[in-house]
Chains A and B, each alone.
Chain A
Amino acid sequence: MKKQFETRKIALAVALCLGAPLASAQSSPIKIGVVTPLSGTYTPIGEQVKMGLDLAAKEINAAGGINGRKVNLIYEDEEANPAVATQKAEKLFQVEKVDFLTGTVNSGSTLAVGQVAERNNRLMATSVSFADSITGDKCSPNVFRVNARAGMQSAALAAWVEKEIPKANIFFIGPDYEMGRSTVSAFKRASTEKGGKAVGEVFAPLDNKDYSPYFGQVRSAKPNVIYTSVAGNDTVRLFSQMGEYGLNKGVTIVGASGTVTSQNIGAIGKSANGFVTGVGYSPKLDIPANKKFVADFQKAYNKLPDLYGADSYGLLYFYKAAVEKAKSTETDKVRTAMDDLSWQTPQGTKKMRAGDHQAMQDMFAVRVENGEFNIVGRVPSDQAIGPDVCTRF
């Protein structure tokens, strides 16, 4: 009967032990919380995030850690649900007393966890979410983003389309949720500014299984470019169905950076050939740092890294650089150190813009051929970044 009572006592005691300061502060590890989807639809992304972070942590610890302290990653599954993410984030901040948090994938979770970080006076960063709002109108002094946002991806893609297919007729197919719609509108803006013409759009529900009812509309609009922001399984279905119906003949298919990644490229197969996207990373980037990174990644996991893995890897080095510059893990000092910080990543040098906490990097137009992501265009970081619309700080 007393079971209930005891469980609470034990839980509290455990919490105390975990939170108790260790004997020697000198060698105490730096704890970084990772709230990422490890179950549910977004699991493949969470897995890449984990692989990238783990690899970086291993390398950093082997080289002596950060300021002589080892890095300790603590993972929690957020199930891609902001309600679960906030609970787990709070657990990591309060019980595990992590110094820093990352890992959120969808923008809802990033925003919600960002709020938790503010209320706990700690910093967090995302290496996946690309909704512009996170470093735009919903920016936060405690939230940083190391990956490219939607606006940057569109800039790179639009530049390529303008060059290769001037005055294109573009049809838009997107999943009907915040991310799907905003990526479409970002690219629509960028491409119409450069002379393209929007000839139609269709927003299908997330997890839509059959796109064939919409092909009639697409055909009658006679586009020569189709832009899509679907992702994961939806991409597999859309692309293979487009292939089945011959919709991809004579049409260049372009899309968001999350549309074709190493997780679904196997399933899409031939139908992905010729797909072009604007993205911040490709495993084929011809930079020595990337070649080493890809080789290490493959050796450790027997898989190729994708943008999520690479950006997560780079995120840990970002934190390392900031903490070493600040000589402390205190929130305010690290935040100051992060402003306008430049650091090395597999994509070259990135710089964290102080005004909105958005990382600046060169962007690439990448084309998929036979399962490989070949680089076919490049836009330098200052042209790709876009304006700073964050007014909160």
Chain B
Amino acid sequence: MLESLQFIYAPQIVNGLSIGVAVVLMALGLTIIFGLLDVINMSHGEFYAAGAFISVSLMTMGISFWFCLLLVPLLLIPIGFAMERLLIQKVFHYKDRHILTLLLTFGVAMVLEDAYKIIWGANPIKPSAPISGASELLGVMFPNYRLFLMGFGALLIFSVWILIYKTQFGAIVRASAYDKDMSSSLGIPVMRVYALTFAFGVALAGLAGVLLAPIYSVFPTMGRDFILMAFSVVIVGGLGSIKGALIAGILLTQLQSISSLYISPVWSDPLVFTVMVLVLMFKPTGLYGGMKNA
């Protein structure tokens, strides 16, 4: 019994955690954009890809991986800002803006995916992991880079949480989400805050792209890898809730990881979807409601 716990379940759990951290990083940006701007960003996965592609190019130019971790999100912020300002805000005043922003970001995703193919080619590229080797954990070998990922990812998630809930910037962001007009009358440049928040969300996705490139490789259609899982996590966790994204992310990836021991792997995605649908049917606001309830 104990042996099966150590050699079968423990590795699955730890594996699930490393995947979970990746998924939560993706879901974080999405839930912030979703929760604050009420925008379903169908192009979120493409910003994840953008981060990966840009980091590949930077590394080819000789810039170290660690520096890329800093540089890539900084490069994505102005792009995200521009997209929000120039495209999303254009359709914002329509009554059916939910659908329009969904369609808009869907179109942007189409364009970006093809753009990557044109610029970088269709073949996969794989940057090598900055940390090599493996360590023994509970009798099973784990790659050191994944262990680093888990730690760094946890740190990142914690920092985002602190930023949103414990800083003035975070307070401004939350206030703008809660009551746009009131915040605006208090002197907050709401439109600029919106654009900055969007930029922040997609920069997070890009950062995830840099971090995961050595594990999952880089190719033009990679934007679709995480998008489904990320949306499920956001829904189950609750729109706009960082705590929800974290808990739902870990839960759902653990579900996938452990269930793969019993059911054919093909059904693990449908399983996650079923959970998402059930949550939507019985508790549509998700586990932790919205940022407005935070």
Contact = CB atoms under 8 A, between A and B. Distances in A.
Nearest to A271: B126
Interface string B122-154: 111110110000100000111101100000000
B216 A210 contact: yes
Contacts of A40: 221
A47 B265 contact: no
A47 B121 CA distance: 11
Interface stretch (B10-18, B70-78, B92-100, B158-166): B10-18
SS of A interface (majority): helix
B146 A43 contact: no
Contacts of A208: 265
A185 to B, nearest CB: 15
Contacts of B19: 210, 212-213
Interface stretch (B32-40, B185-193, B255-263): B255-263
Contact of A214 (B142, B265, B269): B265
A189 B27 CA distance: 44
A43 to B, nearest CB: 4
B: interface residue count bin: 35 or more
A208 B19 CA distance: 12
A343 interface: no
A205 B265 contact: yes
Contact of A264 (B12, B124, B216, B225): B124
B117 A43 contact: yes
A267 interface: yes
Contact of B124 (A202, A245, A267): A267
B148 to A, nearest CB: 12
Contacts of B8: 216, 220
Interface stretch (A229-237, A273-281, A289-297, A371-379): A229-237
Contacts of B11: 215-216
Contacts, number: 98
B181 interface: no
B126 A269 contact: yes
A225 to B, nearest CB: 20
- Of B126, B129, B222, chain A has the most CB atoms within 10 Å of the CB of B126
Contacts of A210: 15, 19, 215-216
Interface in A219-244: 220, 232-233, 236-237, 240-241, 244
A39 B124 contact: no
A205 B260 CA distance: 12
Contact of B123 (A44, A176, A213): A44
Interface residues of A, number: 37
Contact of B260 (A39, A176, A214, A269): A214
B114 A240 contact: no
B219 interface: yes
B7 interface: yes
B264 to A, nearest CB: 6
Nearest to A261: B123
Nearest to B144: A244
Contacts of B15: 210, 212-213, 215
A269 B141 CA distance: 21
20 contacts: A40-B221, A43-B117, A176-B266, A207-B221, A209-B216, A210-B216, A213-B15, A213-B256, A213-B257, A216-B7, A216-B12, A216-B261, A220-B7, A236-B126, A236-B217, A237-B215, A244-B146, A246-B134, A267-B126, A268-B126
Closest 4 pairs (CB-CB, A-B): A244-B143, A43-B122, A267-B126, A267-B124
Interface of B: 7-8, 11-12, 15-16, 18-19, 114, 117, 122-126, 128-129, 134, 140-143, 145-146, 215-217, 219, 221-222, 224-226, 256-257, 260-261, 264-266, 269
Interface of A: 39-41, 43-44, 47, 176, 202-205, 207-210, 212-217, 220, 232-233, 236-237, 240-241, 244-246, 263-264, 266-269
Given A205-B265, A213-B265, A267-B126, 13 more contacts: A40-B221, A43-B122, A203-B265, A203-B266, A212-B18, A213-B12, A213-B260, A220-B8, A233-B217, A240-B126, A267-B125, A269-B126, A269-B128
